[in-house]
Structure 1
Amino acid sequence: MSPPAPQLLEEAAEWLLTLNFDDADEAQRQAFERWRAQSEAHRAAWARAERVMGTFANVPLDIGQQALCRAGDRALSRRRTLRLLTALLVGAPSGWLALRTLRLDTLGAELTTAIGERRSLLLADGSQLVLNSDSALDVRFDEGTRRLHLRRGEVLVTTHADPVVPRRPFVIDLAQGEIEALGTRFSVRLEEPLCRVAVFAHGVELRPQRGAAVRLAAGQQAWFNAYGVRRLASVDEDASLWTRGMLVAHDRPLDEVLAELGRHRPGLLRCDPAVAGLRVSGALSLDDTDQALLALQRTLPIRITRRTRYWVAVGAP
């Protein structure tokens, strides 16, 4: 079958914009279903639109999803947004490959994970790593230092006594500064422009690029950037259960829980401000986020709307 005609792809881009960013009403959704049902070519055009939407889910947030969200902002020109989406559809699959090349924080990374993937590794010195969803990391061991460079995402580190004599420091490099492990188990999570560090055993030293060094002991966590450190409430072992595919919430607001689930699934997961403050307690699956959403729907006064495979909204019933 030949590729969909440009006119159909432009129409598919219009529907993609309407359904994903314009809060379409029931009449518009029915009109979309009638449009898609017109022919096999219409269905093929929409399938390509969904694949492009999925590609945005597989590039970094600052380039992919946020780019589309900014483009879909009503403060910007709808025509400009439509041109962007149409160009991506007409240019596929070369357009998808071009988008993937924009993963500048991943290009050349030694270790990476896709969205929804976790990866466990044993390093040459016996230390263990667990790399969370959508993360990228380099390992650089030499005669003087055991060094990791976290480019994106989150990692749980369990250090091992260095077999090399004299002992080499174990350091994680970040844009914000560096972290030295003091014989420890800890996690590091990048949420630009900040980095969050949680310590589960022993301690670490945080060294912001332009601020004073701060030590954290077991049970402590903090945000830090290039200029300093802000301590947070204590942390417990539940915060590391993502390594087993679980999210344990203790009276957390719904919007925070959904943001965490969104890190482990492709596409957009929206939360209506009307339900954002609902409190959540319990264990949810990160390996099956659809099941996690159903569990939330069973226990909270919310409604889950799925408009496409890559667009899910959580709102009031």
Structure 2
Amino acid sequence: MRLPPEGDRNLLSEAAEWLVRLQYEQSGETERQAFQQWHAQSSAHAAAWQKVQQVMQALAPLQGGAGEPAQQALKTLAQDGRGASRRRNLRRLGMLLIAGPSGWLAWRQLPWRQWTADVATATGERRTETLPDGSGLTLNTGSAVNIVFSGSERRLLLVEGEILVTTHADTVAPETGKRPFVVETAHGIVEALGTRFGVRKLDQDSTRVAVFEHAVRVQPWRGAPLILKAGEQARFDRHAVAAPEPADAGSLLWQNGMLLARDQRLDAVITELARYRPGLLICDPAVAHLRVSGSISLDDTDAGLALLADSLPIRVVRRTNHWVTVLPR
């Protein structure tokens, strides 16, 4: 059987959703009957079902990260979340099955929690969203956020990367009062006190918060809270908040695709540029100590590297487009 030219993609997506729901979710007789009705609608529906089954058989021998079978990763994604989140995951899994083994091989290199986040950006991408309460959310490169608004609170879960939040007055006032606005990270909670602030996951061990208007309350999971005021920033882990330091307003220039270096070490600048381009960007230790001052493009990192090579005794060696090394000239 062959699928007609029109409607292939929609039918394959529907078939893939049915496959995931029947194989990985608890389905009762009602759902099985609904599937039979869908399958019997036409030969094209039956052909779509046969196609996704063939793709699943092809995926069976593939291995994911840390030895996890592809099938198990699909199961995890199908069961993650609830309601709208689960339906969104099912749609994405449907598209993955349509892409087939080659699509799976490309996708499996990504962290699955980032892939299934409510809002996410790719490497080098920025994105601005208006939240349900009117607050503004901007994601920097390689970032991911889940949005969990309820009748009692407004919560963002920072999965990866860096965000800038501009809170808006809450338009919903439950009996208990205004809903707090919080950003949850792996290391604790940042509660907005009517403010504009940035949160960046630095690594597995710490998060940095910078406040540009008003204040925030930082609450590590296992430590004492600390209020940061406008013009302050601090790192924190699960146990404590470090001493506040002056916040660098220039750090917000990433919104405009620029990196402002102020007498910084070259290796620190290269590490930052690496966040905005795919592949590997390495600074040789022999030139790591060189100092850099000036504005560098984040939207065109190749141009930024060329600018550095013009102003410093370095050369940029490209083994491939995705493997670049900064060496002594």
Output the TM-score relative to the length of structure 1.
0.69
- The residue aligned with 1:235 is 247
Q: Is the 1:130–1:157 contact (alpha carbons within 8 Å) kept by the matching residues of 2?
A: yes
Structure 1 position 94, deviation (Å): 6.1
- The residue aligned with 1:252 is 264
Q: Which amino acid aligns with 1:269?
A: L
Structure 1 position 236, deviation (Å): 2.8
- The residue aligned with 1:210 is 222
Structure 1 position 248, deviation (Å): 0.5
- The residue aligned with 2:180 is 169
Deviations 1:68-113 (A, max 9, x none): xxxxxxxxxxxxxxxxxxxxxxxx836723633x513314210010
Q: Is the 1:171–1:178 contact (alpha carbons within 8 Å) kept by the matching residues of 2?
A: yes
Tell me the distance in 1 between the aligned counterparts of 2:210 and 2:327. 32
Equivalent of 1:160 in 156, 165, 168: 168
Q: Is the 1:305–1:313 contact (alpha carbons within 8 Å) kept by the matching residues of 2?
A: yes
Matched, 1:200 2:212: yes
Task: Within 5 Å, give how 1:10-89 maps onto structure 2.
Answer: none
Tell me the distance in 1 between the aligned counterparts of 2:147 and 2:107. 27
The DSSP-based 3-state class of the residue aligned with 1:134 is: coil
The DSSP-based 3-state class of the residue aligned with 2:194 is: coil
- The residue aligned with 1:93 is 102
Matched, 1:187 2:213: no
Matched, 1:151 2:162: no
Matched, 1:283 2:283: no
Task: Within 5 Å, give how 1:269-280 maps onto structure 2.
Answer: 269-280=281-292
Tell me the distance in 2 between the aligned counterparts of 1:279 and 1:95. 43
The DSSP-based 3-state class of the residue aligned with 2:287 is: coil
Tell me the distance in 2 between the aligned counterparts of 1:94 and 1:181. 40
Structure ranking higher on relative contact order (CA contacts 8 Å, 6+ apart): 1
The DSSP-based 3-state class of the residue aligned with 1:184 is: strand
Matched, 1:297 2:329: no
Tell me the distance in 1 between the aligned counterparts of 2:252 and 2:243. 18
Matched, 1:178 2:189: yes
Tell me the distance in 1 between the aligned counterparts of 2:291 and 2:244. 20
Structure 1 position 175, deviation (Å): 1.2
**Pairwise CA RMSD:** 1.7
Matched, 1:312 2:324: yes
> Unaligned regions of 5+ residues in structure 2, if any?
1-64, 66-100
The DSSP-based 3-state class of the residue aligned with 1:230 is: coil
